[in-house]
């Protein structure tokens, strides 16, 4: 930069030589110095740009990774409240907006800020009076961009929120494409997405108008300052206060100076825009997950004895509605315990509490007589595996999906888990066996196959407690019975099912109603009570009988 700053100085020297007809050596010396200075300036600029861009790329990658990790570390209640599209928008769009503004605009801001300092210093050396006159006009140039910068910062937040809504619509639509297609609602979803984009476009138009007005005002004020300096400088030359060469040098410096100030002022709103985008990003980074500190217990052996003692719980989104009401139950080691009851009775909530996704408002959960909170989180999820009714498979091979539960597992362990889940035979018959791609969310396999792969993924961890939340609903009765027979020999099982075939063979059955334990016992004991469970069994039998009649009638 100093080499570039010297060019106007030697241009002034050349002017004095031309006007005063000095020795030619002075002219040659000025040309040589200017050439060397230009080459040095170009080399330095290249090296600085290279280092800066590499550094900013590294920062962008680090920020994106930091935001992603911060989101993954949030409590489950956070994901209940935030939409997927909003989260994805923060991690991708907002970080890109911030990084692009900082990497491009911040580098120029730093560069031109240093130019302003050096240029003004050179101007002071040439003429103090002209420099002071120039400085008096700067506040006019500075005020307008500051106001426009604040406007951009607020507008940027609105633009990011609008983009997040559009991303939310797109994510929701693509993830539910089968439902959209089945209702032939492609046009409706397109219209929803277009409306979100129109909102963003309206904000972008306001942003563009503000930028144009700010740029025009900056240009006009800078032009007025240049004309004033030329007039005042001419008066000083006439009065012999400065030489003609010094005035030429000063004007060249001043042109670069005001140009640098214009760039600073025009890029300042972009930096404020990046600040606006970063506000949404760092909301995630700074957010402290509402979960208790990680425990420290990692015992070598675990029996799998679970006790819920006087548990009362309400979800964060509905704090006034108790889903579980002073409930107590027990899962004994090596037994299958079934939870049954109408929808909304609290069955899946018990699973969420066991996984420590939420904390109860009252009561205590014990695992092998120790509070669940005292166990290390990673250890706990290695010992407790959950398979839901709609398990999620990743767009990877079946092998990778099963080993997701234990990445360092051998192929022998993988096959053993698949056999326990009654999945080995059908996997071998897939086009590429265990290397067959399961498709996004398991779309390349049937519902029953997906459930068996998910059960194998859970079993490969060799959990001490296995939770099946309606996880065999897509299996036929024979396959379901085989799975339960294999599981009974290996671990404590908590079974949630709406099918009688899975429940009646359980060692212990708990019937939930309105968040309370209404009845418990084995199948025969509960039938003898002639209560809620018997009513549940009768409804199941009636449904089976009706379905059988429908099949018979359709066959006739």
Sequence-separated (6 or more) residues with CB below 8 Å from residue 509: 337, 338, 340, 503, 520, 521, 522, 523, 526, 533
Structure tokens at 45: 């600029």
- The answer to whether 234 touches 241, Cβ cutoff 8 Å, is no
d(CA 160, CA 522) in angstroms, rounded, equals 56
Q: Average pLDDT, stretch 488-513?
A: 81
Contacts of 315 (CB under 8 A, 6+ apart): 77, 80, 321, 323, 349, 358
What Rg, from alpha-carbon coordinates, does the chain have? 36
Of 187-191, 193-197, 532-536, 540-544, where does mean pLDDT reach its minimum? Answer: 540-544
Q: Decide if 410 contacts 470 (C-beta within 8 A).
A: no
pLDDT one-digit tens code per residue, 106-135: 767 777 888 888 888 888 888 888 888 888
pLDDT number for residue 541: 72
Averaged pLDDT, 233-254: 78
Supply the mean pLDDT for the chain.
79
Q: Measured on CA atoms in the order 234, 236, 239, 243, is the torsion positive or negative? A: negative
- Helices and strands per DSSP (H, E), number in the chain: 20, 10
- The predicted pLDDT at position 248 comes to 77
Spatial neighbors of 10 by CB under 8 A, at least 6 apart, are 30, 33, 34, 37
* The token pair that represents 364 in the structure block: 């205590």
Q: Is 80 exceeded by the pLDDT of residue 412?
A: yes
Find out whether 153 and 275 touch, Cβ atoms under 8 Å: yes
Least trusted range by pLDDT, from 2-16, 235-249, 508-522 = 2-16
Nearest by Cα to 328 from 350, 304, 359, 305: 350
Q: Which residue has the tokens 């240093």?
A: 114
Over 80: is that where the pLDDT of 89 sits?
no
Q: What number is the average pLDDT over the span 274-300?
A: 79
Q: Residue for token digits 């498979």?
A: 393
Query: For residue 331, is pLDDT > 80?
Result: yes
Measured in degrees and rounded to the nearest 5, phi and psi for residue 152 equal -65, -40
Q: How many residues does the chain have?
A: 556
- What is the predicted pLDDT for the residue at 449? 86
What was the pLDDT predicted at 486? Answer: 62
- At 3, the pLDDT band (50, 70, 90 cuts) reads very low
Phi and psi at 440, nearest 5°, equal: -60, 125
Closest CA to 340 of 547, 523, 488, 483: 523
For 372-405, letters b (16+ CB in 10 Å) and e give bbebeeebbbbbbbbbbbebebeeebbbbbbbbb
- With a pLDDT cut of 70, the percent of the chain lying above it is 82
Mean pLDDT of 348-370: 90
CA angle at residue 111 from 110 to 112, to 5 degrees? Answer: 95
283 three-state secondary structure: helix
Average pLDDT over residues 429-456: 86
DSSP calls for 298-351: --S-----EEEEEEEE--TT-TTS-SEEEEEEEE-TT-EEEEE-STTSSHHHHH
Task: Output the pTM of the full model.
Answer: 0.63
Q: Is 474 exposed, middle or buried (0-12, 13-18, 19+ CB in 10 A)?
A: middle
Nearest CA among 264, 248, 234, 237 for reference residue 7: 248
Longest alpha-carbon distance in the chain: 123
d(C-alpha 501, C-alpha 45), whole Å:
76
CA 318 – CA 316 distance, rounded (Å): 5
Per-residue pLDDT, averaged over 408-434, amounts to 88
pLDDT of residue 18: 53
- Whether the pLDDT of residue 476 is over 70: the answer is no
Taking only the tens place, the pLDDT of each residue in 27-53 is: 566 667 767 777 777 788 778 777 877
For every residue of 309-322, DSSP letters joined together read EEEEE--TT-TTS-
Give the containing element (helix H, strand E) for 393.
Answer: none
What integer pLDDT is reported at residue 551 of this predicted model? 41
Residue 387: strand pairing partners: 468
> What residues does 336 pair with on adjacent strands?
493
pLDDT recorded at residue 365: 93
430 CB-near residues (< 8 Å, 6+ apart): 398, 436, 445
Whole-number Å distance between alpha carbons of 500 and 544: 10
Answer whether residue 549 shows pLDDT above 70.
no
Are the C-beta atoms of 295 and 375 separated by less than 8 Å?
yes
552 confidence band (pLDDT: 50, 70, 90): very low
Q: Is the pLDDT of residue 79 over 70?
A: yes
Q: Which domains does the chain have, with CATH numbers?
A: 2-286 (1.20.1560.10), 306-390+461-555 (3.40.50.300)
Report, as an integer, the average pLDDT of 338-350: 88
Q: What is the mean pLDDT of residues 483-502?
A: 73
Greater confidence (166 vs 432) lies with 432
């Amino acid at each position: 930069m100093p080499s570039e700053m010297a060019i106007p100085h030697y241009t002034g020297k050349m002017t004095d030589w031309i006007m005063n007809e000095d020795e030619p050596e002075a002219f040659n010396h000025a040309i040589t110095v200017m050439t060397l200075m230009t080459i040095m300036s170009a080399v330095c600029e290249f090296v600085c740009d290279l280092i800066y861009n590499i550094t900013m790329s590294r920062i962008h990658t680090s920020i994106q990774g930091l935001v992603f990790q911060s989101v993954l570390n949030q409590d489950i209640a956070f994901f209940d409240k935030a939409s997927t599209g909003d989260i994805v928008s923060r991690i991708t769009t907002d970080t890109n907006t911030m990084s692009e503004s900082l990497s491009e605009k911040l580098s120029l801001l730093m560069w031109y800020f240093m130019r302003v300092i050096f240029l003004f210093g050179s101007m002071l050396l040439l003429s103090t009076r002209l420099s002071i006159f120039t400085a008096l006009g700067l506040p006019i140039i500075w005020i307008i961009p500051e106001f426009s910068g604040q406007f951009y910062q607020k507008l940027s937040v609105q633009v990011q929120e609008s983009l997040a809504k559009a991303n939310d619509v797109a994510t929701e639509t693509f993830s539910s494409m089968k439902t959209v297609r089945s209702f032939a609602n492609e046009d409706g979803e397109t219209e929803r997405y277009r409306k979100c984009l129109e909102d963003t476009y309206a904000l972008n138009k306001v942003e563009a108008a503000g930028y144009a007005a700010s740029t025009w005002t900056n240009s006009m004020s800078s032009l007025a300052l240049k004309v004033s300096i030329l007039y005042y400088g001419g008066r000083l030359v006439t009065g012999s206060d400065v030489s003609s060469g010094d005035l030429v040098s000063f004007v060249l410096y001043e042109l670069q100076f005001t140009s640098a100030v214009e760039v600073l002022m025009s890029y300042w709103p972009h930096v404020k825009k990046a600040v606006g985008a970063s506000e949404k990003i760092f909301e995630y980074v700074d957010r402290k997950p509402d979960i208790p500190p990680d425990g420290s217990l990692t015992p070598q052996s675990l029996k799998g004895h679970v006790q819920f003692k006087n548990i009362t719980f309400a979800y964060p989104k509905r704090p006034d509605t108790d889903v579980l009401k002073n409930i107590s139950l027990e899962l004994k080691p090596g037994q299958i315990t079934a939870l049954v009851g109408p929808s909304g009775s609290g069955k899946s909530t018990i699973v969420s509490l066991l996984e420590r996704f939420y904390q109860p408002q009252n009561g205590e959960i014990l695992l092998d007589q120790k509070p669940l909170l005292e166990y290390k989180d990673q250890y706990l999820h290695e010992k407790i595996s959950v398979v839901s009714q709609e398990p999620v498979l990743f767009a990877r091979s079946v092998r990778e999906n099963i080993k997701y539960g234990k990445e360092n597992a051998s192929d022998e362990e993988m096959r053993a888990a698949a056999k326990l889940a009654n999945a080995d035979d059908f996997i071998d018959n897939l086009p590429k066996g265990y290397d067959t791609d399961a498709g996004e969310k398991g779309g390349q396999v049937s519902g029953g196959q997906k459930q068996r792969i998910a059960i194998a993924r859970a079993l490969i961890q060799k959990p001490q407690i296995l939770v099946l939340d309606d996880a065999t609903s897509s299996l036929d009765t024979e396959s379901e019975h085989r799975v339960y027979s294999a599981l009974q020999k290996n671990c404590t099982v908590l079974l949630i099912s709406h099918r009688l075939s899975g429940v009646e063979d359980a060692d212990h059955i708990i019937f939930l109603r309105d968040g309370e334990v209404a009845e418990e016992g084995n199948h025969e004991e509960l039938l003898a009570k002639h209560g809620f469970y018997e009513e549940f069994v009768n409804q199941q039998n009636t449904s089976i009988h009706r379905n059988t009649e429908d099949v018979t009638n359709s066959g006739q």
